[in-house]
Amino acid sequence: MKKYKAFAKVNIFLKITGKRDNYHEIVSRFVKLNNLYDELEFVKKEQTDAKVNEFKIIGDFSCSTEQNTIYKAYFALKEVTESQKLEELMQTYAIKVSKNIPAFAGLGGGSSDAATFLKMCNGVLDLGLSLNELASIGLRVGADVPFFIYGYESANVSGIGEVVEEFSEEPLEIETYTPKVEISTPKVYTIYRESFYNPIDGFQVEEFKKRSSLEVLNSMSASEANDLFEPALQEYPQLKHYYKQGYFFSGSGSSFFRVIDTSKKREI
């Protein structure tokens, strides 16, 4: 069957705007990485498998099936649609994932896999769900999933991830590198809340949303662009050894990235 690409992303900027219950509200520019992606496909199960009717994921994951975002997406989709066809599909087929996006890296690999799986099921089974409906289901799995559902090249993401607004700008050439440091996103947010909490106001939010990604990166440091960089450095001081001048921090890390401005043929 067909292979589907689950693209990574970087956060050009990530600013905290407030709190909602146990969540932090953000405004962030998400940019899709067209040169880094996982590949997902349905593969027929072997009928000799004793657990043939169980949900099966094939791939190199550092978590259990129950913790996997694809598994969570399956149950969220099943709960909303109550689709018998969906159950039959996953009894007959396993979902195979060829992993290229590093885990615990701030590149959205798990969220992208979940979003891609939801879109695969919607298409293969003709469930007829709109992108908005899929995004709503995806939000149950993770805050970054809606961005990947919509598939924009660049977008302003706000709230707790549920507000995704396409941002029109020239495509950016981005390269990343990921140190072997496994970051806990909840831990970084906890450090931010305890020691760095300083949300921006509505006027600043609108300013960020209007500025192009290149303008932001040309005028800000890694710490200024991403409110989670300093908390991540405090919790994971080894990150300091990997930081290079001119690079920026994606999400809660641990990936760093830089943008190459191809129109001017110079690195930022």
Q: Tell me, what DSSP letter sits at residue 121?
A: H
What φ, ψ does residue 172 adopt, rounded to 5°? -110, 140
Distance CA 86, CA 78 (A): 7
Q: Which helix (H) or strand (E) holds 92?
A: helix 84-92
Q: CB count, 10 Å around CB of 186?
A: 9
Q: Tell me, what DSSP letter sits at residue 226?
A: B
Distance CA 99, CA 48 (A): 26
The token pair at 107 is 């590149």
Asked if 183 contacts 232 with a C-beta cutoff of 8 angstroms, the reply is: yes
Give the 3-state secondary structure percentages of the chain, helix then strand then coil, rounded to 5.
35, 25, 35
* Residues assigned a catalytic role: 9, 144
How, if at all, do strands 173-177 and 248-249 pair? unpaired
- Is the bond leading into 254 cis (omega within 30 degrees of zero)? yes
Asked if 134 contacts 41 with a C-beta cutoff of 8 angstroms, the reply is: no
